[in-house]
Amino acid sequence: MKPSPLSCLALLLALAAGPAAAQVASPSSEGPDFGKWETSVLGEAGKEVVRAATWSASNKTLLSYDFYVDDCRGVSFSMAWIRAQPADHDLYLNHVATTLQVDGHPAIPFLSTYQVAKGEIASVLTLAEIDDFTAAIEQMEQGRTVRMRVPWDVETRANDILEDYPLDGFAAALAWARKTCWDIAGHRPGKGQPLP
């Protein structure tokens, strides 16, 4: 049986991002499954993250979409995987060229940040800049598959990361995660926020 994407991603993010993320990445409660996507609320009270996540078709990487309860408009879109060998040094890269392509739509370029800590095996690539994130999410909500490409060597395409993720259930998982984030935020004393 394949482990839950959410529990594995929680572990990956805890390993890759250090002590601060470890607090957020400890599972608090599993949410419902929607097609190929699973949902969960992670973290302790006051620091919750509401997550929707799925495995790639190859089962090598996880794709997650996180809402932060302190501001439900703040999201993190990340891809995580386990390296073959522990990192021999800390590595943090800004402006990693990445593309996202839904079904037959044109590829959408964006920039990501990549991080791995010395001695760790978990790597995380997080979306940093994209021209039209709303259009990308709308395509994903209506699509069947999203392909993520991370070209490590632009000229030779050697060691590219190329992963396909199922979108079956993405729209419902995203809606659940968004609503759950606002529900949690709205139940905090003095922290009610209007729905977007």
Tens digits of residue pLDDT in 145-176: 999 998 776 555 567 889 999 999 999 999 99
What pLDDT is recorded for position 73? 83
DSSP3 helix / strand / coil % (the chain, rounded to 5): 25, 40, 35
DSSP per-residue string spanning 21-35: HHHHTSEEEEEEEET
Cβ–Cβ < 8 Å for 75, 67: yes
Using alpha carbons, list the distances in angstroms from residue 28 to 140, 169, 191: 27, 22, 21
pLDDT at position 190, please?
Answer: 57
d(Cα 5, Cα 107) in Å, to the nearest integer? Answer: 25
Which pLDDT belongs to residue 25?
A: 38
- Residues of the chain where predicted confidence (pLDDT) is lower than 70: 1-28, 153-158, 188-196
How far is it, in rounded angstroms, from Cα 37 to Cα 52? Answer: 6
Q: State whether residue 107 is helix, strand or coil.
A: coil
Q: At what angle do helices 170-186 and 133-142 cross, to 10 degrees?
A: 120
pLDDT of residue 36: 97
Give, in degrees to the nearest 5, the angle at Cα 89 between 83 and 95.
75
Contact present, 100 and 107 (Cβ < 8 Å) = yes
The pLDDT, as a whole number, for residue 180 is 94
Give the pLDDT confidence score for residue 4 in this predicted structure: 52
Nearest to 18 by CA among 120, 126, 127, 128: 120
How far out from the chain centre does Cα 64 lie? 2
